[in-house]
Amino acid sequence: MARLIVIIPLLLLVGFKLATWLMKRRTATVEAANAAARAEIARIEEATRPTIVPSEHGLVARAELVVDNGRLTGPELDAALAAATAGDWRPAAELFAAASGDRDRRWGLVGRFGENAAEDDAWLRAWRAERPEDADAALITLDATIELAWKVRTSKRASDVTREQFDVFHKILGDAVEAAAEAVRLADPQDPLPFVGQIPIAMGLSWPRERFRALWTEITDRDPHHWSAHVSALQYWCAKWSGGRGDHTHLHAFADAAIAAAPAGSLLTVLKLQAYWEQFAYDKEYAYDAPEVRAAADAVRADLAAADPANRRLTYVRGWLAYMDYRADRPAEAVEQFRALGTAVPDPWASYFNDPIGSFVGHRAGAVLELLAARETAAQGAAVPAAG
């Protein structure tokens, strides 16, 4: 019996790892085929996109454009990530200690190191072994566990995810629930981040609305306008995650409530643009030029004017505004935002387009050409002599 007690868990572990390996191999094959298809689509799209000479319109050349996914960056961070990959966790611990009073930066660090640990967590396990009560290490463990779970599931719609993927996904999210409890236990009682980190768990395990609202209260009691929490929570209320296909009531209600409670310059007005983006993914009768969508874009414009010029979210928000202005046939406003973006290619292109730079360049050129056409039409109208 004693031998069975030892052998059975070992067999279960081996079986789990084998299933995970087979699933990853199958997923890699499918993803390779998808990548080839995306490359061919991008090639065809590239050949049919409108073109301009960017410098003639105050825009940077395509060769200077860089995809900006909004992640925290910097030389010290790069060095600490390299050290972690090599097995040394101490530079990471020092970065977290230096950011102890900056929740936004801490959360950015959590994301970068969690992503790293999801690939190889040897350095994180060493950190936790030496400092088992370290709250930062516990928070990274939570994020890394969730990152690993979502790498298994992928961001595809449920209909495109295999049963094997879902089984492993839910198993790892179960581990994340335990990691979250540990992160909460070790954190400062006023720290919202262990609760912010649970939002993807709520999405993945389809928490009922009341349970999610309780989690949201834990977050907003500690930080009412936490940027990343709001952007992440908006996804929970999307029809694609909540199961309410076609019902966008809760999605817009969440965005409206967040905006109403936020101070000017918070940039949370962008939530409404993202809510419309999510709605239009289901509503095939696109209404980007509807009065309410234009009003939401104008609210974002006012929010940008009131924001701190040093706010690192400016680029992200300008990206959404440029896209929505372009789709709403407001070329002058769109071109203004494209100019302000400079070399950055942020969301929505960075996250939602197979060819971010190519799509960005195409939309940017389209906005410029529409603006030129509108000006030409206006000039022709002004040149027509009055009747009589």
pLDDT at 351 over 60: yes
- The reported pLDDT for the residue numbered 378 is 84
Q: Identify residue 365 by its one-letter amino acid code.
A: A
Find where tokens 């709250």 sit. Answer: 135
Split at pLDDT 50, 70, 90, the class of 142 is: very high
Mean pLDDT of 186-202: 98
Whole-angstrom distance, CA of residue 154 vs CA of residue 148: 10
- The reported pLDDT for the residue numbered 239 is 84
- The reported pLDDT for the residue numbered 380 is 81
47 against 193, higher pLDDT? 193
Split at pLDDT 50, 70, 90, the class of 4 is: very low
The DSSP element (H or E) to which 176 belongs, if any, is helix 163-186
- As a whole number, the mean pLDDT across the chain is 89
- The reported pLDDT for the residue numbered 216 is 99
- The reported pLDDT for the residue numbered 157 is 77
- The reported pLDDT for the residue numbered 376 is 87
Cα 86 from chain centroid? 27
Whole-angstrom distance, CA of residue 301 vs CA of residue 332: 13
- The reported pLDDT for the residue numbered 14 is 46
- The reported pLDDT for the residue numbered 30 is 47
Split at pLDDT 50, 70, 90, the class of 235 is: very high
pLDDT at 322 over 70: yes
- The reported pLDDT for the residue numbered 156 is 81
**Residue 190 DSSP label:** T
Whole-angstrom distance, CA of residue 225 vs CA of residue 324: 24
pLDDT, tens digit, 9 for 90 and up, residues 108-141: 999 999 999 999 999 999 999 999 999 999 999 9
Rounded to whole angstroms, what are the CA distances from 239 to 196, 244, 275, 301?
21, 5, 10, 27
Whole-angstrom distance, CA of residue 126 vs CA of residue 2: 31
Q: For the chain, how big is the Rg over CA atoms in Å?
A: 24
pLDDT, tens digit, 9 for 90 and up, residues 277-311: 999 988 776 789 999 999 999 999 999 999 999 99
Find where tokens 């009412």 sit. Answer: 224
pLDDT, tens digit, 9 for 90 and up, residues 43-100: 555 555 678 999 999 999 999 999 999 999 999 999 999 999 999 999 999 999 999 9
pLDDT at 248 over 80: yes
154 against 78, higher pLDDT? 78
Percent above pLDDT 90 for the chain:
77
pLDDT, tens digit, 9 for 90 and up, residues 9-22: 444 444 545 444 54
